[in-house]
Every structure is written in structure tokens, then in C-alpha cells.
Structure 1
Amino acid sequence: MAGSETDRFWKEFASRHWEQEPLSLPSSPVQLGIGDEELLRALVLAADPENRLEGSGLPKVVVTVDGRTQPIDTRVFLPLAEDGSLDDYLARVDRHMRDHEWSVAVSGLHAVSAPLWDRAKRMSDDVFRWTGTRVAGRVDIDTFIGRYTSTNVGVHVDHAGNFGFTLRGRKTLLTWAPEHAEQVPQHTADYASARGLADVLVGEPGALTYFPSRQLHVGESPDAVAVNVNIAFFTRSDPAAVVLEAVGGLLGRARPAGEPGADAHVADGIPAPTAATLDALVGLSRGEIEDAVWEHSMRALTSGGLGVGRPSESPVPVPRDARVRLADEVVLRQRTLADGRRGVAVQGHTVKVADHPRLEAALTALACGDTLDLGQWERDTDSAAVPLLHAVLLRLSAWRATRVESAESGTVRSAGPVL
């Protein structure tokens, strides 16, 4: 019954709401499915700058007090060691800020939490399955916590379709269709004159809200602390940025040891560090650039648009007589790289190993949804391919990309995410 109810929801959502009109359900068959403990853990990890992923800047924390973004130490606004629960954390911060409005916004929670990564990926897969749409931009899972009269930036457009789940309190969202843009004051909290034109979405525990990417919106939670977790689908993308980011990563790795400082000799009007970067750029081959762009693109494709790899867990060696297949909804792509190695992309990660035709064939079978009998495969294959495949499978297990069935017991030894 639950499955058919969920199917009915998605069918109606795809036909009436996706990128068309807002939705507010007081009780929804689609829930976040992430408990207080995991959200608290993700916030603790997000509070430590050491956990920010290089190149992505995620997770990102923004704190506001009385509507102003604070260039201050944000640690007091995030969970501390003495906070035993989500409610303890919320009560502590609200006591500290009892005479002020406050909010904490943390984006990119999927960069530090595997359960949140899995949940956002599943939502992305569901949207794609029912609407046929993979957004051009990125997918993000974030939280917005606080007690505030209105979102600090006022009425605004994110260019992201937004699913909202409320874990605590009550959050009201006012949204306006883009055709009302000229009648709605934007980037200000003074929008009372346009309130009558708004669709009102109510977020409470058990409810679901959604608004399309072009919708103007503002949030309100003035009476008590609200905790919202949002899964956002950004619709804007710059193809040139993909190439620039990929090439920038290559240049970062190619930077020679002992690179001259910023005050080094300037030749022909070009600072020496810049000249060194230009030399490194000229030295890149077309194949190297294509590989970097492929890896960047596969990070997005295999993560459902999340753009970062699933946080790794302890790898589980795969028995040599096991049966292996990809976990449900896992996407695997592969490529022969310019240096002759095989690149394998899955769950937002890439692993690179020596190439072998039998390795390529085995990975192709997995990518097509086949189950690989490793014992039979080893008997039929070149022995040189065996350690290569097991090296890949070990990495895949750390990203929970496979389901492995022991030949002896018939039980699953390791598995992908279960939601």
C-alpha cells in the first residue's frame, strides 16, 4: 500500500507540480527518513573547517543575527560536545540569542554525511524517474535552522526547485509565481504589500513543501525555532565553467615545486607565477584535458547531480567466489584514459587502475545490471586481470556501490545504501 501511495504521489507531482506550481502537503508519503542523531552528526562535521572538501567549499555555513550575516566565529551556533541531542543544541543557541532573531544555514551536508548523500541521491533518482529530468545544475541537501521573522535576504529567487522537510517547529514559506515579480518587493523584508498574491506553504513535522525553481520566495519562523532540511535542484549551469574547473584542477596538480612567489621577477609584463601557470597550461595535452573534463562530468552524473563523492566508509574485501552486482540505482561509467589506465566513475568518485580487456568487460557487465560470478569469471579470465578487478571492487565497497552475495552462505556481505 505504501508503495502505491508513493507512486500516486510522484505521478501527480510530475504532471502538476514539477517546475509548474508549488505544493504543500500536511502529510506526505515522501519523507526525509533522516533522524535527529544523523542531522546532529552532520552539523558537528560541518562545524569543523577541516572537513570541507577541497575544490568544492562544502559544507558551507552562514549565520545571521537580526537579519545580518555575521562575519564571526560560528562555532557557538553549531553543535558542541556538551550538546547531547538536537533539542539540547537548539535550546542552547536559542537561550544564548533570546533577545535576537537568528538563523544557521548549512549547505552541502551530503559532503560529510553518507546517509544524507544517499537521501539526496534517491530524491534525485525519483525526480528523474518520474519527470524524465536531470537538472542542468547541481543538487544540494541543506538545513535552515532558527527563529526569524523572515529569511535574511528577503524575497529572492534561488533558481532551484526546492523540496522542504520540517523536523522541528513550523516554517511558513510565501512563494510567488514569476509573473508577479514586478509586484513583489525583492531583497527586502518589507513585502507585506504582496502578501495577498503569495501561495502559502506550511512546513511542519510530517509535511512536505515544494516550489519550482523560478518561484520568488521567503521563509518565516518568528515564534519558535524551526529546523528544515531541504533538497534543492539548481537549474542553471555554465558549460564553460566545467572546462575551467577541470583545467584549474590539472594546473593545481602540475604546479612545479619551488614555484616563484608573487614578488618574483616580472618578465615581459607577466608576473613570474602567472608565466609558470601559462607554461603548465601549454604543456597540457588534449587527452589530459578531456580526461579531467570527463572526471568532473562523471562526478556529477554518477552522484545524481550532487557533485561530490559519497563519503567513504570502511572497505570490505570481496570473497573471490562471491557473486557481485551494483546496488540499486548506482551508475557506473568507465573510460580509457590518456595515460593508458582505466578510469572507473561511480557514486561521485573515480578510481584509476591499469587497463585490461577482461577488466573492461567485467565492468561493462556490472554497468549493464548483470551479476558477476567471480569464481567463474576468474576461471575464464587472464590471471593478470584478477587483482585489477578486486582493487576496483574494494574501492566500490567503500562507497557502498555493490551488493555482494557469498557463494557459500547466500547472504549479502556488503551492500549499498538501504533507505
Structure 2
Amino acid sequence: MPAPLPASQTPGEPSLLLPRSFWKDFARKHWDREPVLYRGLFAAHFPTLDEIFAALVEASERCNRGEYPPLRILRFFIEHEDGPNGLPYYSMVFPLSPQHLPLPEDVNAEGYLARITKWLGGKRFGITLNSTQCFHWGHWLQMQSFLTGFREQVGVPLGGGDSAVFFGNYRYTPFGIHKDDLHVFYFVVEGRKTISLWPFDALSQRDEVPKDPDFIHRPGGIVLKDKAEEEKLLSQATLLRGQRGDLMYWPASYWHRAEPSEGLAVSASLGVSFRSPFFTQMGPVGGQWPERLRHTELPRGPGWRLPASLRKSLQQQAQRRNVLAVERERTAEWVRFLTGGAMEGTPPVAQEAPLSAKEWIRTEPSRPIVGVPLPGGQWMVSAHGHSTVLSPSPTVRRRLERLLASLDSGKPQSIEALEDAFFSRLTARAFSRKAFRALLDDLVRWRAVRRCEPPASRR
């Protein structure tokens, strides 16, 4: 089995980077063809139960504050006794109360499991979390680094990527045998997981499956009549049996279901999609939307612009509706999407004090900060899926471009020196020092820059 590459350019960052040889072999043998199980692929930085629990607590607290619509991020399922047809069934709890969700006072996953099991009177349960990368910075780094080689070999999926957590002691996938419009990389974080899989054609002739040639690219489900039918289908399935630290993959076309396991089982499912955004269905006749980009078209620092294929599609959409604001808003949206590594949502912001003049900062060059002109004369600074829009004069814009180029070098930078260089011979009305500091503080909150020690020669 190939050994992983070095973890990261930034010491201490978790990385699941894999060598090019692995991705070349994967693309040739398995990508969009067949499921596969990999054992012991990662020497370090594999997602842990503590990290997943921390993400669940963060998501729970934000949901309890009303930051997300009900069922948008978290779903809670209770497993009931076997139904009349001999199969278990699940009810989804709505609305969710704090009692259902992981809380800081649970301390850890074991504490939450004990509390919720007692509260449910011993019934099995499952909790799912979408967009896990939005609730834990380390998880975002893990998924981004893992996808690095995938993007290089297969391309950047413009349908996005999303990491979903499945946590609980439930026996079967609560929504039964189903298929997604996502290619799935499945990380077994805790316990054991058995996944049953069927190629699309194996179940495509069933009555509940639409007879549409394009349905292979869309999500759907299978309705089992009774235990006998379930046993018949299971006899035809391919089984992947994973344990903690293992990685599975299956194509978007495959039907699948998680099978019973003992005790707590936790997994993170990284899905990537090549579907087109909804608004392209309203685009001009003959308008094209690229389903993927080359990895070299991702943000790469000074001078980067939204790829030409995306700009053309967005311009066509704006022309059809004759609204410049459409092109500006969509351009900003796709810049944020690509600076966020083509993942759904943004990583959590850092809670840090404002920078002082005597501090030093640096960036990770592999995740550059970009400045992009927007239709209508505005200028946008974006990193890690976050952004701010400015309306600078040509002189100020050139200075902002030099500022970002200096930061993207990855070298330690003095706040005082950056500020002195920026405002040298610049009129006071052109751009305020307060706005300059606010921009740097935004970059710290977005985790695009981090505080660091000055070089040894400056100490």
C-alpha cells in the first residue's frame, strides 16, 4: 500500500494527503466503476471520535441558536421494533430539542451515548450531520487535503463536496436501500461498518425505480416488501466490511445500505458531485456549464481570475436576464466556492483578538488569498470561502494587490511593516487605516492568516 506524503507545509495541521500513484491507480481501477475497501491507508491524522463529537456539539449549539432551518443540518432517528413485515422502521424526530443533541456537558461521545440511551429507554438511535467541515477546522483540513490528489487526477467537481457524519447504534441506514447523486468516500471513525452495495442495473427494473435513462444520475430509494425480499436482495449484494481507520469508496450509481453492527458506530461520508447548479436549467439555449475544472484552475494567488468556462456561463445567464447584478452576485458566489476548495459551506471562523501593530502573521501558500474584480467595478477579497467586497480606487486596488501578493508568499510579515508600506504616500481619504486593519482581522477570522513568531533575525 502506498505511503502517504508529508502531512502539510504548516506544522501541526492534520493532513490526509495521498501520493499521486494512489490516485492514478484509483482512477484507473475504481473511479465511477466499482466499490473498493482500503485498510490502513493513513499513518496519521485520520478523523477521531473526539473530533467528530466536537463537530456535533458545535453544530448542535448553532442549531439551538436558530442559525439553521430545522432538519437542514442535523437529523435524529429513533429505531423501533420490527414492523408487521418483519423489518425495522425508523421515525425522524421533529422538532429537535436540546435533549436529543450532543451538549458540552456530555463531555464526550460516551457521555452523550449513555445519556441519550437512558432517555430513550434503551431504543437504538442515529444522528446525522451534514456539512461537518463547516463545524470543525481540523475536519475541513482533513477533507481538503484528502481531495488534493483526487482533484489533480479526476478534476474539481463543480457540484461540490460535503462531509456527512453518521453517529449512533442503529442497525440499518434509517432511510433504507438508496442511491445518491454523489460519489462517496466513507471513513470508518469508530466501531465496525458493513455496507451492502448493488450496481444500478441490479435494481433498476423494480417498480419503484423510474424508467428514465437519466435516473442513474439522480437519488432514489428501494421499498422492501418483507424480510424474505430483503434476504433475497442481500444475497445479491457486494459487502464491504470496514473497521476504524478504513476507507471505502462507491460510485454515485450504486445502491447501498449500512448493515447491523454492535455498539456505537461512527463514520464520515465525503460525497463529491458533478451535477450542474439549478440556475443553469434557466440559462440560455445552448449555454454550457462545465461539470468540472482542472485542478490548476483553482485559486493560485496573485492574478488569479474565475476560470473562463465559468465566466462565460455566468455572463450568458446575466445577459438572458439583462441584470448586471446577477453576474456580479454569481461571480462572487463561485469565487467563494473555489477559494473554499469546492466544498459546501465555509469552515468555522476563528475567535481571536484584533491584531496589534507589533504582531507578525503568515499564510499557507497552498491556500492563497485572492483579489478578484467584480462586474460593475467592485473588487472582492476571498479566502476559505469567505469574502469581503471593496470599492477601491485604481491606486488603492494596486496596493491591495501588492498586499495580498506579499501575504501569499507564505513568509512571516510584520503588521507594522505591511501598514507602513501600504500607506506610504497615500492620501488619507483614499483608504482608512481602520479599513486596512479590519481587512487583516477578517483574514485572521477566516483562518487565511495566522499569528506567528518573527524571524530569528528580528527577535
TM bin, normalised by shorter chain, reads 0.7 to 0.9
Contact 1:315 1:395 in 2 (8 A): no
What's the CA shift for 1:385? 5.8
Relative distance call for 1:26 and 1:312 in structure 2 (3 A) is: same
* Residue 232 (structure 2) pairs with residue 217 (structure 1): no
Pick one of 335, 342, 357 that aligns with 2:397: 357
Distance 1:42 1:348 in 2: 19
Relative distance call for 1:242 and 1:123 in structure 2 (3 A) is: farther
What's the CA shift for 1:36? 3.0
* Residue 158 (structure 2) pairs with residue 123 (structure 1): no
* 1:248-305 deviations in Å (ceiling 9; x for gaps): xxxxxxxxxxxxxxxxxxxxxxxxxxxxxxxxxxxx9833222211122122211122
Relative distance call for 1:31 and 1:59 in structure 2 (3 A) is: farther
* Residue 16 (structure 2) pairs with residue 16 (structure 1): no
Contact 2:39 2:247 in 1 (8 A): yes
* Residue 73 (structure 2) pairs with residue 59 (structure 1): yes
Pick one of 344, 347, 355 that aligns with 2:384: 347
* Residue 111 (structure 2) pairs with residue 111 (structure 1): no
Percent sequence identity is: 21
What's the CA shift for 1:217? 0.8
> What is the aligned partner in structure 2 of residue 308 from structure 1?
345
Contact 1:59 1:111 in 2 (8 A): no
User: Any unmatched runs of 5+ in structure 1?
Assistant: 245-283, 413-419
* Residue 106 (structure 2) pairs with residue 83 (structure 1): yes
SS at match of 2:58: helix
How many equivalent residue pairs?
372
Relative distance call for 1:411 and 1:372 in structure 2 (3 A) is: closer
> What is the aligned partner in structure 2 of residue 332 from structure 1?
369
Relative distance call for 1:28 and 1:149 in structure 2 (3 A) is: same
Distance 2:354 2:43 in 1: 35
Contact 1:147 1:225 in 2 (8 A): yes
Contact 1:321 1:373 in 2 (8 A): no
Cα RMSD of the aligned pairs, angstroms, is 3.7
Relative distance call for 1:14 and 1:30 in structure 2 (3 A) is: farther
* Residue 335 (structure 2) pairs with residue 298 (structure 1): yes
* Residue 184 (structure 2) pairs with residue 144 (structure 1): no
Relative distance call for 1:102 and 1:40 in structure 2 (3 A) is: same
SS at match of 2:328: helix
* 1:164-202 deviations in Å (ceiling 9; x for gaps): 222222111011222323367852355322223322112
Equivalent AA in structure 2 for residue 395 of structure 1: D
Pick one of 440, 447, 457 that aligns with 1:400: 447
Relative distance call for 1:90 and 1:372 in structure 2 (3 A) is: closer
* 1:61-99 deviations in Å (ceiling 9; x for gaps): 242433323243434332245423211222333344465
Contact 1:164 1:203 in 2 (8 A): no
What's the CA shift for 1:239? 4.5
* 1:21-46 deviations in Å (ceiling 9; x for gaps): 21112322276633333322221222
* 1:97-148 deviations in Å (ceiling 9; x for gaps): 465442211112222322222223323334213x242113121112112233
**Matching of residues 26-65 of structure 1 within 5 Å:** 26-29=39-42, 33-48=46-61, 49-50=63-64, 53=67, 59-65=73-79
Distance 1:410 1:319 in 2: 20
> What is the aligned partner in structure 2 of residue 187 from structure 1?
222
SS at match of 1:148: coil
* Residue 177 (structure 2) pairs with residue 155 (structure 1): yes
Which deviates the most, 6-15 or 202-211?
6-15
* 1:203-240 deviations in Å (ceiling 9; x for gaps): 21121111112211111134322111222213323251
Distance 2:332 2:70 in 1: 14
Pick one of 155, 160, 170 that aligns with 1:133: 155
Normalised TM-score (structure 2): 0.69
Equivalent AA in structure 2 for residue 287 of structure 1: L
Which deviates the most, 57-66 or 194-203?
57-66
Equivalent AA in structure 2 for residue 398 of structure 1: R
Distance 1:344 1:379 in 2: 19
What's the CA shift for 1:60? 3.0
Contact 2:370 2:381 in 1 (8 A): yes
Which deviates the most, 374-383 or 299-308?
374-383
* 1:277-334 deviations in Å (ceiling 9; x for gaps): xxxxxxx983322221112212221112223222111346567688765414314333
> What is the aligned partner in structure 1 of residue 309 from structure 2?
none
Distance 1:382 1:314 in 2: 34
* Residue 241 (structure 2) pairs with residue 206 (structure 1): no
Which deviates the most, 378-387 or 206-215?
378-387
Relative distance call for 1:105 and 1:22 in structure 2 (3 A) is: same
What's the CA shift for 1:363? 5.3
Relative distance call for 1:135 and 1:52 in structure 2 (3 A) is: farther
Distance 1:367 1:177 in 2: 48
Distance 1:390 1:312 in 2: 17
Contact 1:405 1:411 in 2 (8 A): no
